[in-house]
Every structure is written in structure tokens, then in C-alpha cells.
Chains A and B, each alone.
Chain A
Amino acid sequence: MAEYALRFVLGGAIVSAFAVLGDVLRPKTFAGLFAAAPSVALATLSIAIANNGADYAAAQARSMALGAIALGIYSVLVCHLLMQARLRALPATLAALVAWIVCAGGLHLLILGWR
């Protein structure tokens, strides 16, 4: 329970710090870089090293690279849903989340297998 509380506080703090950076930086495309900052990863990997060791953290980071490829595809799709399909931000980002799950899961299955 204490570990999950630590995850929550650490993750929330790092995500908020990157979000504030994104808020104050201009132009908007540059600020957008911080929307893809490894904020959740920084918190999770630090705890993984302390609790489970380097091999566990390395396995997480290897899969994270596949998740990041899916994130690139997701962001392109969001851009198209906003500008071509003229969806509002919330439905566009939520609909594209399905594509992220399919791409990330598919890449994992293809490259790393089931587990």
C-alpha cells in the first residue's frame, strides 16, 4: 500500500512538473514535446530498480520503446482526428487511445511475444 502511495505522489509530481513546463514554453509545437516526456517512466523505473533490480527495469524499458512507437502513431492520429474529422480534443484523444492499445499490444506480440 505504501509503495502505491509513493508511486502516486512521485508520478503525480513528475507529470505536473513536465505539464507546467509545457504550459510556459512557446511555440506550441515545442511545448508539445513535454506531452511526450517520460514522466511516468521516471517514477516507475526508479521504484523498479529499488524494489525489483536492474533486469526488471531493463525489461520494462525495452517494452516502453514499443509503447513509445505506438505513442508516435497515436499523436499523428489525434492530429488527423482534430484537423480532418474535426473532432473536439477529448473525443479525439480518447478515440485514438484504442489505436494506441492495439499498436502497443500488436508490436509487443510481434517483437517480444506474449509476456
Chain B
Amino acid sequence: MFVRLSISSLKESRWYEYLTRFVLGGAATVFAGMLSSALGASVGGLFLAMPAIFCATATLIERHEIRRKREAGMTGVRRGREAAALEAVGATLGSFGMIAFALAFALSVRESSWLAFLGAAVSWTSVAMGAWWLYRQSTWHRSRSRMNGH
């Protein structure tokens, strides 16, 4: 139920996997800037929420899970798929936070840019974490009801 840190997970990633995410992140930011210049701020703004990095993240998570299971003598394909799906569930909950970030920023940036970033960051954190907490509560209650035979 509790959030925890697993520093040992960092050892699972290879140097080129970090490099891939850096390059993809940089490329997505350049792409969003180029689209804004070519098509205007409004159309370009859509691409600030484009899941370009998610493809790499989900693939890496699946690959790490498969590698771990193979070391234990299993194929790990199913577990890899499940791990990537859990990441997608988290991204769904995080998207509520991203909506809150964008709206808070759009509404306050004309007043003060620093306050807009601060307000947007607080909105993202509280809405994303709140959505995750509600999700955890609902799955916890569902599993308890199943155990009690309801």
C-alpha cells in the first residue's frame, strides 16, 4: 500500500537505455517547438502531452521484467506485459494530473510566470497523487470484498 524507493532498480538499466530516454525526451521537446513555430502555439501545445517517451518507458519495463524472469528460468513474457500494463494504469491516473497542470498554468501565467509554474506543479502533484490514492483504495476494498466472499 505504501510508496517506497527501490534504488537497486537503477542497476537493471543499461547506460544506452538512459541515453535513449535522454535523446527521445530532447527530440520530443524539439519536435513540440518546431510544430508550434510551424502551426501556431495552439496546435503545437497539443504535443506537450504527447506520449512519445511512454513507448520507450513501457518497452524498457517489459524488457527488465523479462530479463529478471529469464534469469529465474521462466520466459517472463506474461509478467513483462503485466508490468507494462501497470505502468499504463499509472499513466492514466497521471494524465488527470497533467490536465490540472495545464489548466492551472494557462489560467495563471499572465499574472506571474513563477507563480504559474508553482501552481501548476502543486496541481499536478496533488491531482496525480490523489487519483492514485483513490485507485489504491478502490482496488484494496475490492480485493478485501473478494477475500470475504462478497
Q: How large is the interface on A (under 10, 10 to 19, 20 to 34, 35 or more residues)?
A: 35 or more
Contact of B106 among A14, A62, A115 (CB under 8 A): A62
Q: Taking A24-B6, A44-B33, A58-B106 as contacts, is the C-beta distance between A30 and B132 under 8 angstroms?
A: yes
Q: Is B137 an interface residue (CB 8 A)?
A: no
16 A-B pairs besides A8-B30, A32-B93, A78-B88 with CB distance below 8 A are A19-B53, A22-B87, A32-B91, A37-B94, A37-B97, A38-B120, A41-B48, A62-B45, A64-B45, A64-B105, A71-B51, A75-B89, A82-B84, A89-B84, A92-B58, A100-B51
Which residues of B are interface residues toward A (Cβ below 8 A)?
3-7, 9-10, 12-13, 18, 21-30, 32-34, 36, 39-55, 57-59, 61-62, 77, 80-99, 101-103, 105-106, 109-110, 113, 117, 120, 124, 128-129, 132, 135-136
Chain B residues within 8 Å of A67, by CB: 45-50, 102
Q: Taking A16-B22, A35-B90 as contacts, is the C-beta distance between A11 and B28 under 8 angstroms?
A: yes
CB of A57 within 8 A of CB of B89, answer no
A68, B47: Cα distance in complex, Å: 9
CB of A35 within 8 A of CB of B113, answer no
How many Cβ-Cβ contacts under 8 Å join chain A to chain B? Answer: 328
CB of B48 within 8 A of CB of A57, answer no
Contact of B4 among A26, A46, A74 (CB under 8 A): A26
Chain A residues within 8 Å of B47, by CB: 40, 67
> Which residue of chain B has its CB nearest to the CB of A104?
B46
CB of B88 within 8 A of CB of A82, answer yes
Chain A residues within 8 Å of B22, by CB: 12-13, 15-16
Chain A residues within 8 Å of B51, by CB: 35-36, 71, 74-75, 93, 96-97, 100
Which residues of A are interface residues toward B (Cβ below 8 A)?
3-4, 7-16, 19-20, 22-49, 52, 54-72, 74-76, 78-79, 82-83, 86, 88-90, 92-94, 96-97, 100, 104-105, 108, 112, 115
A58, B109: Cα distance in complex, Å: 6
Contact of B46 among A14, A16, A63 (CB under 8 A): A63
Chain A interface SS verdict (over half): helix
Chain A residues within 8 Å of B43, by CB: 63, 108, 115
Chain B residues within 8 Å of A45, by CB: 48, 105, 109, 117
CB of A89 within 8 A of CB of B5, answer no
